[in-house]
Structure 1
Amino acid sequence: MTGFALHLLRHGAPETPGLLMGRTDDAPTEAGIAACVARAEGLGIERLIGSDLRRCRAAGKAIGRATGLPLATDPRWRELDFGDWDGQAARMIDREAIGRFWDDPDAYPPPGGERWSALVSRVSAAIAGLAPVPTLVVTHGGAMRAALHILCGFDQRQLWAFDLPYAARLSLNVWPGERPSGQIAGLCA
Structure 2
Amino acid sequence: MNGFLVHLMRHGIPARPGRLLGQLDEAPLPIGVTRCVAAADRLDFNHVISSDLARALVPARRIASARGASDTVDARWRELDFGAWTGLDPAEVEPGAYGRFWDDPDACAPPEGERWSHLCARVGEAVLHLHQPSLVVTHGGAMRAALAALFHMEHRQVWAFDLPYSCVLSLRLWPDDGMPAAQIVALSA
TM surpasses 0.5: yes
Query: SS where residue 9 of structure 1 aligns?
Result: strand
2:152 maps to which residue? 153
Deviations 1:76-117 (A, max 9, x none): 000000000011111100000000101111111000000001
How far apart are 1:2 and its partner, in Å?
4.2
Could you tell me how far apart the structure 1 residues matched to 2:2 and 2:151 are? 17
How far apart are 1:52 and its partner, in Å?
0.4
Query: SS where residue 15 of structure 1 aligns?
Result: coil
How far apart are 1:35 and its partner, in Å?
0.5
How far apart are 1:124 and its partner, in Å?
0.8
* Segments ≥4 residues shifted beyond 3 Å: none
1:31 maps to which residue? 31
Same amino acid, percent of matched pairs:
52
Could you tell me how far apart the structure 2 residues matched to 1:14 and 1:53 are? 11
Q: Is the aligned partner of 1:187 residue 2:184?
A: no
Could you tell me how far apart the structure 1 residues matched to 2:116 and 2:155 are? 10
2:8 maps to which residue? 8
1:59 maps to which residue? 59
Gap regions ≥5 residues in structure 2: none
Could you tell me how far apart the structure 2 residues matched to 1:154 and 1:38 are? 30
Query: SS where residue 65 of structure 1 aligns?
Result: helix
One-letter code aligned to 2:26? D
How far apart are 1:70 and its partner, in Å?
2.7
Residues 64 and 179 of structure 1, relative CA distance in 2, 3 Å threshold = closer
1:76 maps to which residue? 76
Could you tell me how far apart the structure 1 residues matched to 2:106 and 2:181 are? 22
> Cα RMSD (Å) of the superposition?
1.0
Could you tell me how far apart the structure 1 residues matched to 2:9 and 2:128 are? 18
Could you tell me how far apart the structure 1 residues matched to 2:14 and 2:71 are? 20
How far apart are 1:18 and its partner, in Å?
1.2
Pairs within 5 Å for 1:89-104: 89-104=89-104
1:137 maps to which residue? 136
Query: SS where residue 63 of structure 1 aligns?
Result: helix
Pairs within 5 Å for 1:118-137: 118-131=118-131, 133-137=132-136
Deviations 1:42-72 (A, max 9, x none): 3120111000001111000110122111321
How far apart are 1:179 and its partner, in Å?
2.7
How far apart are 1:129 and its partner, in Å?
1.2
Could you tell me how far apart the structure 1 residues matched to 2:75 and 2:41 are? 24
1:49 maps to which residue? 49
How far apart are 1:156 and its partner, in Å?
1.4
